[in-house]
């Protein structure tokens, strides 16, 4: 079974379903027996929900224009 440190290290990948089947099973096995890490999952899920429900601030028009110009320059210079 993996350690708490390893379970927490893989927590966000687990929540985003970015782990392969083996690692996902290891995290789930750990969570089945570790209340502390289950608490970490609950906190991370709540935080993720909050962040997804919070609107992103918009960039000032001048900053957005400069950024678009910079990205256009990168596209033109790319091989």
Question: How would you write the pLDDT of the chain (79 residues) with one tens digit per residue?
Answer: 899 999 999 999 999 999 999 999 999 999 999 999 999 999 999 999 999 999 988 989 999 999 999 999 988 887 7
With beta carbons less than 8 A apart as the criterion, state whether 8 and 37 touch: yes
Q: At a CB cut-off of 8 Å and minimum separation 6, what does 24 contact?
A: 14, 17
Helix then strand count (H, E) for the chain reads: 5, 0
The answer to whether the beta carbons of residues 30 and 1 sit under 8 Å apart is: yes
How many Cβ atoms sit within 10 Å of the Cβ of residue 57?
Answer: 6
pLDDT score recorded for residue 79: 74
| pTM for the model | 0.67
């Amino acid at each position: 079974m993996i350690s708490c440190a390893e379970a927490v290290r893989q927590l966000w990948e687990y929540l985003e379903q970015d782990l392969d089947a083996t690692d996902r099973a290891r995290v789930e096995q750990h969570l089945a027996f570790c209340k502390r890490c289950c608490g970490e999952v609950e906190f991370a899920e709540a935080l993720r929900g909050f962040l997804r429900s919070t609107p992103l601030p918009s960039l000032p028009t001048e900053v957005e224009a400069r950024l678009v110009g910079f990205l256009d320059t990168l596209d033109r210079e790319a091989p």
